[in-house]
Amino acid sequence: MNFSDTMNMKKEKVIVEVSQDGLFTAYMPNDEYNFGLAGYGDSEQEAIDDFYITVEEMKELEKENGRVFPDLSFEFEYDKESLLKYYSSLIGVNTLHKMTGIPKSRLNQYILDETKPTKKSLQKIQDGIRKFAESLNRVALM
């Protein structure tokens, strides 16, 4: 695929969310097509990989039925509330508070979906989780 091919592609949003049981889903909410696309897995990467498998299967199915699969590219976006619930269940609200500097009471409001985080708060949460992940990547047990 060359650069001009990607210019003609329609970009579709794919939502990645996690359920309370820890399973991940990646799905395309746009319903303007005659098909749906979704992937599932035990991790976000598994769900995304499964999503792409579904895309390939749908391309084959559309071809078999004499239809053309549209030129699509995908942009993955995370469901803020479900991921916040998931990470807080893994590491706890106290740790999230330490990582982000956001008060525990405010984090609980976000987790319970009582209030929506502002863009600034979302950035703090994202930065805190990424910084924590980077520190985990440096761990080397001897």
For residue 104 the two structure tokens come to 């525990």
pLDDT at residue 7 in the model: 61
Domain check: are 69 and 84 in the same one?
A: no
For residue 106, pLDDT over 60 is answered with yes
**Side chain identity, residue 88:** S
Domain check: are 74 and 84 in the same one?
A: no
Domain check: are 46 and 107 in the same one?
A: no
Question: CB 110: neighbour CB atoms within 10 A?
Answer: 22
pLDDT tens digits, one per residue of 128-139: 988 998 998 899
Alpha helices per DSSP H over the chain? 3-7, 44-64, 80-91, 93-100, 104-111, 119-137
% the chain with pLDDT above 90: 60
For residue 8, pLDDT over 90 is answered with no
Residue 67 CB contacts under 8 Å (≥ 6 apart), including other chains? 34
Higher pLDDT residue, 63 or 3? 63
Residue 132 belongs to domain spanning: 80-137
For residue 6, pLDDT over 70 is answered with no
Name the pairing type of β-strands 24-27 and 38-41: antiparallel
Q: Rounded CA gap, 81 and 115, in Å? A: 10
Domain check: are 129 and 85 in the same one?
A: yes
What mean pLDDT do residues 71-81 have?
90
Domain check: are 114 and 70 in the same one?
A: no
Domain check: are 66 and 87 in the same one?
A: no
pLDDT at residue 142 in the model: 87
For residue 10, pLDDT over 60 is answered with yes
Name the pairing type of β-strands 72-78 and 10-18: parallel
| In a domain? residue 142 | no
- What CATH number has the domain bearing residue 33? 3.30.160
For residue 4, pLDDT over 50 is answered with no
Q: Rounded CA gap, 62 and 109, in Å? A: 44
Domain check: are 74 and 88 in the same one?
A: no
pTM for this structure?
0.69
pLDDT tens digits, one per residue of 33-55: 989 999 999 988 999 999 999 99
Own/partner contacts of 56-62, CB < 8 Å, gap of 24 or more, are 61/35, 62/35
pLDDT at residue 40 in the model: 96
